[in-house]
Structure 1
């Protein structure tokens, strides 16, 4: 993996943590819109984002205060969602794995921790994840796709012609 890809992944990890801290009141709990989840669609472009997002989630969940369940299980769910997002055939489908995995998986431990009904938690976390990934994440994905990954593709084409 080249240095640029590592740096991009590290920046996304850092931004994920910062956004969770800044928006902490809405980033944790049975009803949440974790703004930082906008970045979970980036593995669609490059699998190098998978470890960056995983580390960002791991660190954010350490700060979040829900304990070991969120730190280990929540981060693992994000890792799985990242791998599945990478495998999506079209960019508009990239948010589907994080939405479904977080809605059903995160609710499995968040609902009991808060004494909240499971399916209500699934609904609220699913809605929050949909807002973060489709309303914020998809435009970020398109921006990266157009400005960063298109530039890299053009450089490769140019270098191959020499």
Structure 2
């Protein structure tokens, strides 16, 4: 019997400014690949949409209008080599509503960014990368955990590199 590898310790990053939050989004854009799901957690105003916008723009390679999917629920983008799905589940009232959005299929084939992932219930992919943003002083703190093997180490190297 092979013992399961323990989950790596969460990666904690201080984001002193909005520019640091955008830099984190850009770093993630370089590392995420189809099948990666990023669950963006934190209270209203924590910077989830700001980070998602920066990630999407970096992945696309150019400035583009990236509206919040608060009312449309899902926005999709064609990045070189893959799709990006940006979902805001704040307005969902039951996890079964996720099926109607097509998110479960996208989890396997696209890079998916999901705001308010608690609305997924038990439908959150087990290998998802969780990123929690919280206020810390004048800036924010990002706590990242989970994700595919090696992703947190790659991100730490890219961030501190």
Which TM-score band (shorter chain)? 0.3 to 0.5
TM-score by length of 2: 0.37
Q: RCO (CA 8 Å, sep 6+): is it higher in 1 or 2?
A: 2
TM-score by length of 1: 0.37
Structure with a larger share of its residues in strand: 2
Q: Mark the structure with the bigger radius of gyration.
A: 1
Structure with a larger share of its residues in helix: 1
